[in-house]
Structure 1
Amino acid sequence: MPGSVERTLASAETKLVGRDAAWTALRDAMVAAPGGGQAFWLCGEAGMGKTALLEEAAAFAEASGMRVMRVTGTEQESDLAFAALHRLVSAHLNDDNGLTSPSWRSLRTALGTGQGAAGSGLATSSATLALLSKAAEEQPVLLVVDDLQWVDASSAEILAFVQRRLGTIPVVLAAAVRAPGSPALDSTGAHLLDLPPLTEDEAVEVLNRRHPELTAQARDHLVGEAAGNPLALVELPAHPDRLYSTEQLPLPEDLPLTSRLEKLYGTRLQALSQPTRDLLLLCALAGQEERSITLAVEATAAAGTSTSAAVLESAESAGLIRLHHGRMSFSHPLVRTCLIRTATAAERRRAHRALAAVLPPDDERRLTHLAAATVGADDELARRLEQFAERALRRGAHPEAAAFLTHAARLSSDRTTGAKRLTTAAYIASTAGQLAVAARLLTEAEAAGVPAEDRTRWNFTHAYLRFQREGDLSPAAELLPAELGALHGADPVLRDGVRFLVHLAATCLNEQPLWEALREQLHRFGPVARLCFDVWSDPARRGHGGAKRLHALVAALPPEQEMLHARELLWIAAALDCVGDLTQLWHRVAQQSPHLTQTYIGIATCMDDWLRGRWDHCLATAREGERTARERGCGFHAYVFHQTLGYVHAGRGERDALEAVIASIEPWARKHRQSHLLRRMTSMRAGCALTLGEDETAFALTTSLTRPGTLPAMEPHFQYVFLDLVESAVRTGRRAEALAHVAAGRHARMGEIAPHHAFVLAAATAMAADDAEVDAASHAVYAMPDAGTWPFELARVHLHHGAWLRRGHRLEEARRQLRAAHAYFSDLGAGPWVRRAAEELRAGGSAVARVNPPEEWRLTPQELRIAGLVASGLTNGQIAERLHVSPRTIGTHLYKIFPKVNVSSRSALAHAVRSVGGQGAPGGPSRPLLGGE
């Protein structure tokens, strides 16, 4: 922006009393928009000034040359797939928008204006982000979303995706929401700006500005009655019948404030003529504010009633609506709510029928209006709603498909048909991550009487919900094994879902009968399912060639089969530590998947980050994944994301942090018999003990999981403790046990399972080798083509080899290996391992010096501290808590730090800090550079 404009904008102040902090945050973000966007949620109950702040922001943005795109969520359209997204971007859907063909098709298919299969999930979200980015190239964009809590679920998912990525594009998102903690909403990436009640002084200021005619007595009474609600202060004294000149209010004392406001609006509405109220009710039910007046007038005309300008002018005079250039908007969302609540059931049905009559036959809103207008059963309408549900599924709108089926069920004359539709709706809602909705629908279906042919679907959905919400796999273990043999020829998605859940229960609970139930049906499974069984039930004996088999299956799999087998392919890759080798496949799957499949991908890639040494990214991903899972009510996913933190804490020797992770998971895991997670926590403790040099403890813990010389059955991740057992055995003088374990790995042909298994076996062989073989065995590890893929294990081999060379007085060779170990450990932030490598270097005559950040960085002490905390893996919110500032302040500092350090990302900054030892950054890791010898 030109400098003069910036100065003008920077000096702008809000006219709203008591909202300076929220306004300053919005204003500053708009001023800084050319350098990158931000997202803000204005949170507060009705009447707290959210909409007023959004209006000021929009006016401010337009005056400063920004483009304003806006949408308002409405309860009437919350079940319409992509309704909000359509209103938001439809004006920009032209052939010259810069989108690539796949993105273009994906977005148009989702919005119902294109043909083909749905490109839901990541594809539609990415296309929306690309469209906004293109629009913002010409001028920065302010994206205004009012009543976010009523935005349809599919659009809300895409807005959540966009807000997490605004830092790189000049788009500012400002949203108003009443319930930021709702499971349907994802606030990741947004700054939450709470709008608290006004103070008594601020309330007096509002009344003095808006109602100076009030007596002191009336003003004091109103301040108490309004309880700091700005809308109440403005509206309660503005009753059209009289101004308050006494202390009495014409509303019952026991009414909640929002109800008082609704009653006040109701009184005003009752003062209007019947034609005016009828027209306003039509507008309220029409939903889309930009078209509501047009639809309402058309509906009125279709009913044979004329509409004059005076009809709306009376409502505007009463302060209920605003008219501007032929458009109408309600003065506050409570007016819309009051219109609908105060209308009789007959009036609402009549209005719905009138609106349905003027909408096109293939418009989803027409069906929803007809459904709302119908009393009793209507099988033809139910059938059409079911068809629309199928169409919504093809567009990737799972929540809306479930809503259509729910409407259809309630219009069904036959209870069995209704129960069937409710069961299917619950099944679809569960796959979309709407777990609470799915649970309610499942209960309704059971009460209606689930038909025998749908009992498998009901059982699966029930078991799936218990697993997702609570991590309880007992329903899956009790109900589903018996279903395996009866699923031949059934819906392949349901069939594979049942088998996958039984497989998951067998793995997590480690119960032999479940594995046997799966084994009995192996002849019915395809090659993907058989490989999944092999690598999870007993990889040491059945997993040979697993990675090669996986890659061959993926290469031969037709594109239309990828989604069907996505979960099992991901599960196989996770068992084989090959997730990072198939990133393109996961990208394609995520583009077409509902939320929960994307969550599985997130968990698997988070673990892959740990294995491949991207520990800071692993921590950030795990924390965000856990938070999102908890918001959505997915308890199991939250625990799995959280336990991933433990691996990094173990490798860094952060015992207190590790024990905190375990303490938060262990009681839940024991309650639900999650033996797989319990064994993982034992392996974390073993790894932490090894990191801290507590070798006897490490050996005891690893051998409690697997005896030396034995690779246990039903242990899919035995490779995670294999090297720890061997190294702790060597360190405690138990070379015989170490050699026995290496021999067991060779006998089991462990190296033929997957590359990571082969690398772990080679590293363990080098650790256990006698003096005549250490050199050759270590160099064999370094020569492996994928050695650098596993930096933690590789660094430990370098350290072991270097220490052996030093003891043999081969100092020059020792220094090379120890420097390599030191560098790897430093990049990982593994402090105890760094110190061990440094001690070996010093013992070998190589000095270790701490190096200050380069002078050209020109960082302030506070910036140095923040850079160090970023390098330690903390998020902006966690850094803000530690430094007692706001997350936005941390973001501002990072915006200044990046160009000084000549980096463009957090990970690059963390690497730069580590490379100079983190000096001057209190709270960050101390990772010294190597100096001269």
Structure 2
Amino acid sequence: MRPLTDGTELLVGRDSELSRLVGWIREVAAGRGRAVLVDGEPGIGKSALVRSACAAATDAGCQVFWGAGDELGQALPLLPLLDALEITPATRDPRRDAVYQLLGGGAVAGKGADLAAAAAEQLIALVDQLCQDGPAVLVVDELQWADSTTVAVWSRLARLVRQLPLLLIGVLRPVPRRDDLRSLFRIVRPAERLRLGRLAEPAVLELVAALAGGKPGARLEELAAGAAGNPLYLTELVDALTRSSCLEVDPAGIAELTGAATPDSLPEAIADRLGFLTEPARAVLRTAALLGVGFSVADLVTVTNSSLAELLPALDEARAAGVLVAAGDDLQFRHPLIRTALYDEMPTAVRVAWHQSAAWALAEASAPVERVARQLLPMVSTTDTRVPVPDWAVKWLLKVAMPLIGQAPVVAVALLRRAVRDAPLDDAVTGALACRLADAYYRVGNVAQAERIACRALDRVRDPDVRVDLHTTVVQSRGTAGRAAESLPALNEALNQPGLQARHRARLLVLIARIRRVLGEVDSAGRAASAALAELGAAEDRWATGWALHVLSQCAMTRGEWAAALPLFERAMAVVRGDPTLIELTLLLRINQSVTFGALDRYADALTAAGQARELADRTGSVARLTQVQSAIGQLLLGAGRWDDALAEVDVVPDDHKDPGVVCCDHGVAAIIHFHRDETAAARRHLDVAALHSERAGDEVVESLVRARSLAFEHAGAPERALAVLTAVPAGEDAGEERLGDAVRLAMTIGDVRTAAEIEARARAIAAESAVPHRRALALYCRGLLERDGTMLLRAADGYADAGRPLSQAKALEAAALAFAEARTEDRGSARAAFTHAIDLYAELDAQWDVARLRALFRALGIRRGPKVKHRQATHGWDSLTPTEGRIAALVVEGLSNPQIAARLYLSPRTVGTHVSHILTKLGVHSRIDIAREAARHQSASG
């Protein structure tokens, strides 16, 4: 643990609050974590309280990590956590190095990469690993100034504290109170919030007596009463009186005032303290104030262009005056308000000039990107728009634009926008800056502005590399808005421009191919992609080659040529492998490869590919692709009959991080499972959530949601309406194969033979010349239903068994049993056998609605004999754990962390965290230690 200060602070009147914090520290030392919020006005003693508790935590053997938000740095991501966990350029711990490599410039950010999100995932994993070293206390002070990514990580950790020996403490002021900060108060229980009010009169007098060295006299009591119970004000007031020799303690121990010069406010009291410093010391402190509340001495040496020996007298004076305190190897202002007083006394124009000078010095010293950007931000936030961007800063921006956009796109927008404004209109540098600015706007989601800037730049930029990049941004922006086709005329015109090299033509053709594919013009898309590859010939362009192969693989998938798509994936991934600028494409290829394996009934391969995509998305911060791959995994697990695992995957990523279509798909998957398990209320909750997002999903057909809505009507005893939901998609749409089978079943249930026959013809066409087991099984199933042929339905069940699709297999067996039972030549033995097998399959899925429905149906037919079906009756306790949860619980008992369990089981840490949360809830316990205790109790009880 780094030392928090170099001195002790008086803590008076906070016994109750300190007792609660110390009690929570004892609990975390015993393995039970929790999240706590401490709030109150500036100077009220929040930090002093938490520091006192942290001293107790150290004594209890806990690791303590402390970071603080900073008003100057709130636009830059994760700075408080980086500081708390000591992630610096000097990092030598490999666990910390991964984070620094992302945010410290060691990673190249291609379009689509979100370095801050990737680093956030690494930070959460790091905290998990650190907690394996021993119980930990993680404090984020001045949380109201923290960036949104830090707040999001704090929120994630707050949801994980039950799984970790972690006391997570957030310290903040009542204002400003942003929406993301308000959400923390919904996550943290009221019993775990500490609001510090003003000190009561007895505590005020006790504090003044301790500070003054004697019981306060009448006049000092009167002055103390004017401090409104604020400990910082009281401290500064008494110190000011002492410095001015207005305070004496008589032989009776009474502290009396001997003069009248007293500060009238807290700012005035702080100004009085600073007024006792020499001018050289104040000059050094003003420069330090530019760097923030906490600062590196090395950075101070850099920006002052002084040696450490030259700075030491001023720093020693500031420490002796109680202005600065030590913070590990660095220094910090004793209180943020002291730093604010120094910072605000500088005129704005002077302050901006000093920030620019500091930025230049740090850039020359090759300081990390975020430190330089932090000094440049005041230049663009000032109301004086006449302040230009220096030439050196323009060159620096061009050099670091891509990593800066990946790490802090909002900051990149602010800096690049001012640089573009100040650069000459016909300057080639301006075109490059505008290109990066359009990228940054696209990254922050302002696609309209990204498109406008890119289009304006296209009118004046002549460099073909920059022009192609600008066309790419325009296509992406318009595609996001559903207007991709508008770019086709400009792209075709660009192809005919003189002076283009083959790689430029290839890239333009790739953009055309991608647009044609989005428009559903599969043949045109394929021709354009093939033309791009032909343009390249033997030339190497990984971007153009990879994207062209990607389009060709999509075309094959659309045509249902799944086997033909597989070698295209392999070729494309061989091209893009290892290129950090092509992460987005790599993810798309892996996700589509997973979908293709699933369509070919190769579930093991599909889940392996999806797992690789998930690991890459997690590591590189591609949240959009992470949500897509999680959704794909959920669908695969649904089809494979691993329903408990599917439900866990649906919960892994919060809905507010997902595309509306993905939200609908995930909740559709969950609703299907809950309906089959006769958990109707849960299923309808998922349908309600999906309904909130379905309008935003547009015309997209979400197969799982369509099936779930149909099941809702089946549950309500309305098969006609259930069928109408399944057949609502126009005939030209590529309906899901599961949906076709259910549609034929429902049509035959209500006697609509014509509809059943039409759908059966479609299923037959899909299966024609296909070697995929589930497609052949589908054709047999539909035809068997139409002809009420039990033998054909048994063949369909065998085909679904070969495909690894247990729900479809059970449906085919159910239909076969019914066909045998209702045949003219009644075959009760075959009916009973098929019925028994179907019941077994439904029971293995825990599909209690199907089990009950099937039993009732066959009782009505006089077939009463069947197996005694076992299913999970328990909803709480050890017996309620799913097989996956049982394996994870065993590894928790072994002492493995979530990342270690994830590596052992080939899951993601997020998924493991979701399972551990479910385990804790089912066992009714509060920590991983409690899981081990429950495991021992269960083992003892079972002999």
TM-score normalized with structure 1 length: 0.69
Which structure 2 residues correspond to residues 494-893 of structure 1 after superposition, within 5 A? Answer: 506=519, 521=528, 523-524=530-531, 526-536=548-558, 539=559, 543=561, 545=563, 548=566, 552-553=570-571, 557-560=575-578, 563=583, 565-566=585-586, 568-569=588-589, 572-573=592-593, 576=596, 577=598, 580=607, 582-587=609-614, 589-590=616-617, 591-623=619-651, 625-629=653-657, 645-649=670-674, 651-652=676-677, 669-670=694-695, 674-677=698-701, 681-705=705-729, 712-713=731-732, 715-735=733-753, 737-749=755-767, 752=770, 757=775, 760-768=778-786, 770-771=788-789, 773-774=791-792, 776-781=794-799, 783-784=801-802, 786-787=803-804, 790-804=805-819, 817-818=834-835, 820-826=837-843, 828=845, 830-839=847-856, 843-846=863-866, 892=926
Structure 1 CA distance for aligned equivalents of residues 662 and 230 of structure 2: 41
- Which amino acid letter does the alignment assign opposite residue 791 of structure 2? E
- The 8 Å contact of residues 763 and 778 in structure 1, kept in 2 or not, is answered as yes
Pair 448,772 (structure 1): closer, same or farther in 2 beyond 3 Å: closer
Structure 1 CA distance for aligned equivalents of residues 742 and 136 of structure 2: 53
- Which amino acid letter does the alignment assign opposite residue 362 of structure 1? S
Structure 1 CA distance for aligned equivalents of residues 449 and 833 of structure 2: 64
Pair 310,782 (structure 1): closer, same or farther in 2 beyond 3 Å: closer
Higher relative contact order structure (alpha carbons within 8 Å, sequence separation ≥ 6): 2
Larger radius of gyration: 2
- The 8 Å contact of residues 811 and 844 in structure 1, kept in 2 or not, is answered as no
C-alpha deviation, 1:728, in angstroms? 0.7
Structure 1 CA distance for aligned equivalents of residues 151 and 136 of structure 2: 19
- The 8 Å contact of residues 236 and 266 in structure 2, kept in 1 or not, is answered as yes
Please state whether the residue corresponding to 1:846 is helix, strand or coil: coil
- The 8 Å contact of residues 71 and 87 in structure 1, kept in 2 or not, is answered as yes
C-alpha deviation, 1:653, in angstroms? 5.9
1:114-167 superposed Cα distances (whole Å, 9 cap, x missing partner)? 699999689866766676566555543333333456567887887777777666
- The 8 Å contact of residues 678 and 849 in structure 2, kept in 1 or not, is answered as yes
Structure 1 CA distance for aligned equivalents of residues 913 and 201 of structure 2: 35
**Structure 2 residue corresponding to 1:110, chosen from 88, 102, 107:** 102
Pair 297,150 (structure 1): closer, same or farther in 2 beyond 3 Å: same
- The 8 Å contact of residues 26 and 57 in structure 1, kept in 2 or not, is answered as no
Cα root mean square deviation, aligned? 6.0
Q: Which residue of 1 aligns with 2:347?
A: 344
Structure 1 CA distance for aligned equivalents of residues 200 and 661 of structure 2: 46
Q: Which runs of 5+ in 1 are unaligned?
A: 1-12, 253-259, 507-511, 707-711, 861-865, 910-933
Please state whether the residue corresponding to 2:551 is helix, strand or coil: helix
Structure 1 CA distance for aligned equivalents of residues 178 and 662 of structure 2: 18
Structure 2 CA distance for aligned equivalents of residues 444 and 115 of structure 1: 29
Pair 355,772 (structure 1): closer, same or farther in 2 beyond 3 Å: closer
C-alpha deviation, 1:731, in angstroms? 2.0
- Which amino acid letter does the alignment assign opposite residue 387 of structure 1? K
C-alpha deviation, 1:344, in angstroms? 1.5
- The 8 Å contact of residues 323 and 334 in structure 2, kept in 1 or not, is answered as yes
- The 8 Å contact of residues 48 and 197 in structure 1, kept in 2 or not, is answered as no
Pair 493,425 (structure 1): closer, same or farther in 2 beyond 3 Å: farther
Which structure 2 residues correspond to residues 346-365 of structure 1 after superposition, within 5 A? Answer: 346-349=349-352, 351-352=354-355, 355=358, 359=362, 361-364=365-368
C-alpha deviation, 1:387, in angstroms? 0.5
- The 8 Å contact of residues 240 and 263 in structure 2, kept in 1 or not, is answered as no
C-alpha deviation, 1:382, in angstroms? 0.7
Structure 1 CA distance for aligned equivalents of residues 513 and 179 of structure 2: 32
- Which amino acid letter does the alignment assign opposite residue 368 of structure 2? E
Q: Which runs of 5+ in 2 are unaligned?
A: 1-10, 210-214, 248-255, 380-386, 496-502, 533-547, 600-605, 890-910
- The 8 Å contact of residues 626 and 642 in structure 1, kept in 2 or not, is answered as no
Structure 1 CA distance for aligned equivalents of residues 436 and 236 of structure 2: 47
Which structure 2 residues correspond to residues 98-497 of structure 1 after superposition, within 5 A? Answer: 106-107=98-99, 109-110=101-102, 112=104, 136-147=131-142, 170-176=165-171, 191=188, 195=193, 197-198=195-196, 207=204, 209-210=206-207, 240=240, 265=270, 269=274, 273-287=278-292, 289=294, 291-292=296-297, 295-296=299-300, 300=304, 302=306, 309=313, 313=317, 317=321, 320-323=323-326, 328-349=331-352, 351-352=354-355, 355=358, 359=362, 361-364=365-368, 367-368=372-373, 371=376, 375-390=387-402, 405=416, 408-409=419-420, 412=423, 414=425, 421=433, 424-428=436-440, 430-431=442-443, 434-435=444-445, 438=446, 442=450, 445=453, 451=459, 453=461, 473-474=481-482, 476-477=483-484, 479-482=486-489, 485=492, 489=503
C-alpha deviation, 1:903, in angstroms? 12
Structure 1 CA distance for aligned equivalents of residues 616 and 551 of structure 2: 18
C-alpha deviation, 1:610, in angstroms? 3.6
Q: Which residue of 2 aligns with 1:51?
A: 47
Q: Which residue of 1 aligns with 2:30?
A: 32
- The 8 Å contact of residues 793 and 812 in structure 2, kept in 1 or not, is answered as no
Pair 780,667 (structure 1): closer, same or farther in 2 beyond 3 Å: closer
- The 8 Å contact of residues 70 and 146 in structure 2, kept in 1 or not, is answered as yes
- The 8 Å contact of residues 839 and 854 in structure 2, kept in 1 or not, is answered as yes
1:237-275 superposed Cα distances (whole Å, 9 cap, x missing partner)? 769469999xxxx999xxxxxxx9768756765675543
Pair 261,771 (structure 1): closer, same or farther in 2 beyond 3 Å: farther
Please state whether the residue corresponding to 1:625 is helix, strand or coil: coil
Pair 554,349 (structure 1): closer, same or farther in 2 beyond 3 Å: closer
Pair 609,660 (structure 1): closer, same or farther in 2 beyond 3 Å: same
C-alpha deviation, 1:586, in angstroms? 0.6
Q: Which residue of 2 aligns with 1:9?
A: none
- Which amino acid letter does the alignment assign opposite residue 585 of structure 2? H
Residue 78 of structure 2 corresponds to residue 60 of structure 1: no
Identity fraction in percent: 17
- The 8 Å contact of residues 117 and 623 in structure 2, kept in 1 or not, is answered as no
Structure 1 CA distance for aligned equivalents of residues 749 and 877 of structure 2: 43
Structure 2 CA distance for aligned equivalents of residues 203 and 459 of structure 1: 66
Structure 2 CA distance for aligned equivalents of residues 30 and 104 of structure 1: 23
C-alpha deviation, 1:725, in angstroms? 0.4
C-alpha deviation, 1:724, in angstroms? 1.4
Structure 2 CA distance for aligned equivalents of residues 221 and 758 of structure 1: 90
C-alpha deviation, 1:529, in angstroms? 0.5
Pair 877,381 (structure 1): closer, same or farther in 2 beyond 3 Å: closer
Q: Which residue of 1 aligns with 2:499?
A: none
Structure 2 CA distance for aligned equivalents of residues 599 and 502 of structure 1: 25
1:84-103 superposed Cα distances (whole Å, 9 cap, x missing partner)? 66645558999996x6xxx8
Pair 180,64 (structure 1): closer, same or farther in 2 beyond 3 Å: farther
- The 8 Å contact of residues 634 and 669 in structure 2, kept in 1 or not, is answered as yes
1:758-783 superposed Cα distances (whole Å, 9 cap, x missing partner)? 55445445544533524642452354
Pair 814,288 (structure 1): closer, same or farther in 2 beyond 3 Å: farther
TM-score normalized with structure 2 length: 0.69
Structure 2 CA distance for aligned equivalents of residues 840 and 777 of structure 1: 22
C-alpha deviation, 1:63, in angstroms? 0.8
Pair 190,196 (structure 1): closer, same or farther in 2 beyond 3 Å: closer
Structure 2 CA distance for aligned equivalents of residues 751 and 267 of structure 1: 89
Pair 72,850 (structure 1): closer, same or farther in 2 beyond 3 Å: same
Pair 315,584 (structure 1): closer, same or farther in 2 beyond 3 Å: closer
Pair 496,637 (structure 1): closer, same or farther in 2 beyond 3 Å: farther
- Which amino acid letter does the alignment assign opposite residue 765 of structure 2? H
- The 8 Å contact of residues 793 and 816 in structure 2, kept in 1 or not, is answered as yes
- The 8 Å contact of residues 762 and 777 in structure 1, kept in 2 or not, is answered as yes
Structure 2 CA distance for aligned equivalents of residues 610 and 220 of structure 1: 73
